[in-house]
Structure 1
Amino acid sequence: MTSERMKMAAGEWYTCLDPELEELRDAARDAVFEHNGLPPRQRGGIGPALAALLGGAGEGARIEAPFHCAYGFNLFLGDGVFLNAGCTILDTAPVRIGKRTMLGPNVQIYCAEHHREAAGRRAGLEIAKPVTICDDAWIGGSAVILAGVNIGNGAIVGAGAVVTRDVPANATVVGNPARAVTRR
């Protein structure tokens, strides 16, 4: 029998109302609570419980508090990654953030898409799509990155942008939905 967690990992429709998934979210909430509650000098770059939960965190990776993630184990941070205060990452699928990438305050990354039909949403059906942000990207404050998006090396996402499509390397996108602009 295929579990809801296995369906989620395979990118198939699954129900988020599953007890195993709820238990995993509880573990993430506990780790995030510790991270957010520790004094900054005690916490270091990433609180101990959150660091242990993450899929991976490179040297010098840092997450400011407050922070929220859904599962944690699907979040992979490269060397020198910086997540500013208020970031939310709903990592129902892998989220890979490349080396030296910076996320401004309140950036949101959503890997889950809910069912288009009301009956499917009532049943808790969703599908998870990975998000990749390559090396040296800069994601401006309050930007939203939707499921399945890839952001290339050196790209810039303007503050408040809603990214619904892939962003090529070294491109700058702004607006809702995010559109390419010429760099000055």
Structure 2
Amino acid sequence: MAETDQNEIRARIAKGLVYTETEAAFLAPARREDEIFAYNHTPPGDTGRRRSLLTEIFASVGERTVLQAPFHAAFGSNVHIGDDFFGNVNLTFVDDVEIRIGNDVMIAPSVTLTTTGHPVHPARRADFGRFSEPIVIEDKVWIGSNVVVLPGVRIGYGSVIGAGSVVSRDIPPMSVAVGTPCRVVRPITDADLASRA
């Protein structure tokens, strides 16, 4: 594929427009499948090897990162992770475009962060037609078990996403949000300093 064609497809992807598997095939070398497989099969005690693999897999990875195996990623190379990150088992990154995770973020088991969706009409899903929009998770966010974060979402500083939620729109900073679709139920205030929940 000519470089001009690749640039045109990259521009369409960046605008959140539909593109196909065949059109995006030139992006395949950015996938880190072998490295992800190796990470998921590296003993937990081999922290040096695990750290080395994380720096090979992700676009950037901060200090004191804990990522429990197994995890999964479409690419891995489109994920940016800040300092003091904790990701529990079965975290899935559908990172066809960027996922940016800030500092001090905690993610519970079986969470999916998906930058990619598919058109509703079946004719537009031919050749795995899809669209992609970046996800941003700001500093100090906590995401509960079995949450799904959909394309284009930003979760604001300090917010908590309740277990089982489907996050289809932005969540403002310092909010507790739950449900399907996920909605803000209350702000986080200083009163929460004296509370367990």
| Fold-level similarity (TM above 0.5) | yes
When residues 71 and 5 of structure 1 are mapped into structure 2, their CA distance, relative to the original with a 3 A threshold, is: farther
Take 1:156 and 1:72, find their aligned partners in 2: how far apart are those partners? 24
1:14-163 pair list within 5 angstroms: 14-17=19-22, 18-25=24-31, 28-44=32-48, 46-163=50-167
Take 2:16 and 2:55, find their aligned partners in 1: how far apart are those partners? 25
Q: Which residue identity lines up with residue 113 of structure 2 in the other structure?
A: I
When residues 89 and 135 of structure 1 are mapped into structure 2, their CA distance, relative to the original with a 3 A threshold, is: same
Q: TM-score, normalised by structure 1?
A: 0.90
When residues 158 and 148 of structure 1 are mapped into structure 2, their CA distance, relative to the original with a 3 A threshold, is: same
Q: Which residue identity lines up with residue 20 of structure 1 in the other structure?
A: F
Take 1:32 and 1:5, find their aligned partners in 2: how far apart are those partners? 26
Identify unmatched segments of 5+ residues in structure 2.
193-197
Contact 1:45 1:61 in 2 (8 A): no
Larger Rg: 2
Take 1:14 and 1:21, find their aligned partners in 2: how far apart are those partners? 12
Take 1:5 and 1:89, find their aligned partners in 2: how far apart are those partners? 22
Identify unmatched segments of 5+ residues in structure 1.
none
Q: TM-score, normalised by structure 2?
A: 0.84
Q: What is the CA-CA distance between 1:73 and the residue it aligns to?
A: 1.3
- For these two proteins, the number of residue pairs brought into alignment is 182
Q: Which residue identity lines up with residue 36 of structure 2 in the other structure?
A: V
Take 1:47 and 1:123, find their aligned partners in 2: how far apart are those partners? 36
Amino-acid identity (%): 35
Q: What is the CA-CA distance between 1:115 and the residue it aligns to?
A: 2.1
